[in-house]
Amino acid sequence: MKILYFAWLRAQLGMAEETISLPEDVNNLHDLIDWLRARSDVFYAAFSDMDVIRIAVDQEYVTENVPLKGVREIAFFPPVTGG
């Protein structure tokens, strides 16, 4: 599964995208966020306040916890500021 990071989240993590094999105990979005947080202090800090992070699953916004089975791409990013 591909994970994408944008804007200050990308800068803070020093990474625009990565491909991961989902660990067996990671079944849904909340599991994934917990798993990312546990990786390092940098990830923990970046994902500490989920109010400032928006999530897209296969390029569609999600606000609820969703199962990750069959998902190809997840993106984490700050609230958008275009226009």
Q: Is 24 in the site for another protein (CB under 8 A)?
A: no
For residue 27, CA distances in Å to 31, 57, 75, 79 come to 6, 14, 17, 25
Structure tokens at 74: 């997840």
Q: Is 33 in the site for another protein (CB under 8 A)?
A: no
C-beta of 78: minimal distance to another protein in Å?
Answer: 6
Q: Is 18 in the site for another protein (CB under 8 A)?
A: no
Question: Which residue is it, tokens 């800068």?
Answer: 11
Question: Which residue is it, tokens 């700050």?
Answer: 78
Q: Report how far residue 52's alpha carbon sits from residue 40's, in angstroms, rounded to the nearest whole number.
A: 19
Tell me which residues in 41-80 interact with another protein (CB under 8 A): 56, 59, 61, 75, 77-80
Q: Which residues of the chain form contacts with another protein (CB under 8 A)?
A: 4, 6-8, 10-11, 56, 59, 61, 75, 77-83
